[in-house]
Homo-oligomer: A and B are copies of this chain.
Amino acid sequence: MEGVIVDCALYRSGKRVEETRNLVKIAAAARHDEDSFVWMGLFEPTETDLEGVARLFGLHPLAVQDAIGAHQRPKIDVYDDSLFVVLRTLTYLDKTSDVETGEIAMFIGRDMAITVRHGEGSELASVRRRMEEQPEVLMHGPAAVLYAVSDAVVDTYTEVAKELQTDVGELERSVFSPGRTDDFERVYKLKRELQEFRTAVVPLVEPLTSLAEQEVVAVAVAARPFFRDVLDHLLRVQEQVESLDVLLSGILQAHVAQVGLRQNEDMRKISAWVAILAVPTMIAGIYGMNFQHMPELHWQYGYPMALGLMAVICGALYRAFKRSGWL
């Protein structure tokens, strides 16, 4: 159990007052003081780990089940007087331009805020440090923790979205550059990452809206503007992602069209040259015939005339093809 508890402390009036691993004592302290709550951070706990905590704080078994197994759908479930929140965290890997996902589950009650983290890339220590520097916010209790964590997570969305935007910009430049590139796989990969992004963002919009606008027991009215702020950032990221998707589709269409265009141009050029070459070949063939009576063959300047004829026709064809844009 020790290993999975990353940090655990009691907060009174927004200030960290006690840090202990004695869960029973700290839970009792929080329960009996209206102004106090426990903030506990767990990292990939086992079923037994979490069940102990669940008994202490009266967590709903279904929520506990969801918090153990990763790969949940992002959501905000309202239980009588507590919230169960699942967020998906996103990290952009520069090396592969891939997006990696992790998960954070949170139990938010009157007297506790328990975060359960799965996967790398979603550390919360810095969130806690920042909050401890703002006791006037942390004073609002566990809802402030929920705000801080979801704000931090949505901030990472914003960053990942920015990276994806850069990727789309690069793709755009590559596709419309005069060079001949095959970017279909890159387009597809970006589309897949946007899709992954969406599965993290979209399910959150509705419950966050209800936190920001409706009566939810665990969130004080005064705290709503904060959740509206998070929602706002979330909506912004969502619109950005939808925009990128539209642009990506546009890039793909243009790419398909241009690649086809250029390949056809190549083919036309090659075919036009073959057609030009066919003319002197034909003339040479004619003067290569073995008829006994072919007056030109006996002319003094027959040969240069034939060569001249070839050159003239080829030159005329070349000019004509240039004019109609075939070369």
Contact = CB atoms under 8 A, between A and B. Distances in A.
A195 interface: yes
B291 A289 contact: no
A277 interface: yes
A199 B247 CA distance: 13
A313 to B, nearest CB: 11
Interface string A175-186: 010001010110
15 contacts: A73-B235, A176-B188, A180-B325, A184-B254, A195-B243, A198-B243, A252-B253, A256-B256, A259-B261, A267-B271, A277-B278, A278-B278, A278-B281, A290-B294, A293-B301
B263 A266 contact: no
Given A62-B226, A285-B281, A264 B263 contact: yes
A187 interface: yes
A3 interface: no
Contacts of A77: 225, 228
Copies of this polypeptide in the complex: 5
A289 B287 contact: yes
A308 to B, nearest CB: 12
Nearest to A191: B250
Contact of A268 (B203, B235, B251, B270): B270
B281 A291 contact: no
A306 interface: yes
Given A73-B235, A199-B243, A252-B253, A225 B280 contact: no
Contacts of A229: 62, 66
Interface in A270-309: 270-275, 277-282, 284-294, 296-303, 306-307
A239 interface: yes
Interface in A301-325: 301-303, 306-307, 310, 324-325
Given A284-B289, A326-B266, A326-B270, A254 B185 contact: yes
B297 A302 contact: no
A188 B172 CA distance: 10
A119 interface: no
Contacts of A272: 270
Interface centre among A187, A261, A306 (most CB of B within 10 A): A261
A184 B257 contact: yes
